[in-house]
Structure 1
């Protein structure tokens, strides 16, 4: 029986967590954490730009997503294709990789729709229920062990959802539905990622960019609406792809230098960044119950990752 690394907890769905770093890579956890902190900052900035373009300037979500994936694909092709060649495009298991990429496309669509209707912090917190769903579903779908403690932590996290999306609250109901739909497809994405660890991370990332470009490109000719383009708006469209590509690269470096159980809790800093950007750009401040819900979701998620990491460490010690 093989060990499984703890769950990757990333709002912007990231690369699958490697089981172990390559032997030639030194163990430098502080450097890994620093890379992860920068990555989630870039992901929060990307969500902020997406909300500005869709909610404030009226651009369709499909157009914004197409621009993000296209810029990312062009950058990866220019920088990586000369070195990696066809290996960048051809995975060993094409069908699961395609399904994983389509899950990410759906997540991007639902997240964009949610951000049009919800504040940044609340939308992010609702989507952060995905790692808890992974914990609950990994047992029946992947045959992984689910302890009573981790199940209780996952269920506790959903009480935070009820506090954020409570009846009578100020949040848009359809926006909440979109955010929870994003969490659902992100769960599928993460579960597929756990079955594809033999694939090269750059191959997975390139295929996601390629599928996203094609999928959203189908709608691009019918999505040309919104404010007239200015140099600033064009720069924001270009920034989406740059932030996504650099963010994923930094996250990959983070997992390369530090174990998953150390890196994954850092992802919850994205909620902090989202709250800060929400106040700075949109002058939004979550109410007290919503803040409590975010704390519960973040706390239970971090505890889930930490306890999972300890369990994996103990099991390795026993077998060796």
Structure 2
């Protein structure tokens, strides 16, 4: 027995490390896809970008579904909530991509990372949860971080900031719906529903604003979609190797790639004040995750 325990612990550690590395790789793909989206927003509407991205994303997602048993094995247990999540995700993406067109990528990410703060606030009226002083404090600190980033009165506030905040709020509703159905719905079902929601929400806007892409731009559309779809596969794989509480904070690594892509592709200078505000938001989000994990452990 004594020889088995260290081996088992070592294997578990290796699985967690592998999960973290795979999650980080998936987040690099997400950030790269978003950087390409920002490039494309200079020439195409967000509606056309979203639909094109989603169509190409279906390729790796189809591979993922076939590897897990095929479409015939997919079962939807809560169709209304799955559709609601798809519609919310599709609408949130419209606002998020629009913010990419108006703000530096790192700044859009930083505002989007306040989603855990909105989740905490909305869980009170929607889920009937009780929020203690620790989480209230984290929410307050997080909103202070947002104020530090946008610096009202010192920097010009425009529709890009509002779009990012609306996208984060809609993202919070999406998370709450996911909490309700995550244990009963397969990951493939939820991802496929979201991609379908992206197409359904943006297709009318795409028809009105369609512009025939050039061949180089078509390649960019393909890249952003394939990267986004593949990233979903990587995240799903990481969650099968390590706990969600370990994988979730890995999304914050995207801010680093956003800063790098901003400097290389768009000539965006690193703003120390924005980085400081983002660090406050990320810190508050991580603390909320810690409190959520502790509350779940005590509940068990």
> Do the structures match in fold with TM over 0.5?
yes
2:52 corresponds in structure 1 to 67
Once residues 95 and 35 of structure 1 are traced to their aligned partners in structure 2, the CA distance between those partners, rounded to angstroms, is 32
The 10-residue stretch of structure 1 (109-118 or 79-88) with the greater mean CA deviation from structure 2: 79-88
- For 1:137 and 1:219, locate their aligned partners in 2 and report how far apart those are by CA, in whole Å: 29
**Across the two proteins, how many residue pairs are aligned to each other?**
287
2:17 to 30, 35, 38: 30
Superposition map of 1:57-206 within 5 A: 58-77=43-62, 80=65, 83-88=69-74, 90-170=75-155, 172-197=157-182, 198-206=184-192
Query: Structure 2 CA distance, aligned partners of 1:257 and 1:162?
Result: 37
Taking a change above 3 Å as real, the CA distance of residues 76 and 289 of structure 1, as seen in their structure-2 partners, is: closer
CA contact (8 A) 1:87 1:203 kept: no
Q: Distance in 1 between matches of 2:264 and 2:272?
A: 19
**How do 1:269-308 residues align onto structure 2 when only pairs under 5 Å count?**
269-308=253-292
Q: Output the CA distance in 2 between the equivalents of 1:220 and 1:138.
A: 34
Write the distance in 2 (CA, Å) between the matches of 1:113 and 1:189.
Answer: 18
Which runs of 5 or more structure 2 residues have no equivalent in the other structure? 1-10
Offset at residue 215 of structure 1 (A)? 2.8
CA distance in 2, matches of 1:263, 1:181: 25
Report the 3-state secondary structure (helix = DSSP H, G, I; strand = E; otherwise coil) of the residue aligned with 2:214.
coil
Secondary structure in 2 matching 1:178: helix
Q: Please tell me whether the aligned partners of residues 61 and 230 of structure 2 are also in contact (alpha carbons under 8 angstroms).
A: no
Task: Please give the secondary structure, in 1, of the residue aligned with 2:120.
Answer: helix
Quickly say closer, same or farther: Cα 1:292–1:78, change in 2 above 3 A. Answer: closer
Q: Does 1:208 align with 2:194?
A: yes
Normalised by the length of structure 1, the TM-score is 0.84
Given candidates 194, 197, 203, the residue that maps to 1:217 is 203
Task: Give the aligned CA root-mean-square deviation in angstroms.
Answer: 2.0
In 2, distance between residues paired with 1:241 and 1:146?
38
Q: Which runs of 5+ in 1 are unaligned?
A: 1-24
Q: Which secondary structure does the structure 2 equivalent of 1:92 belong to? A: coil
Aligned equivalent of 1:268: 252
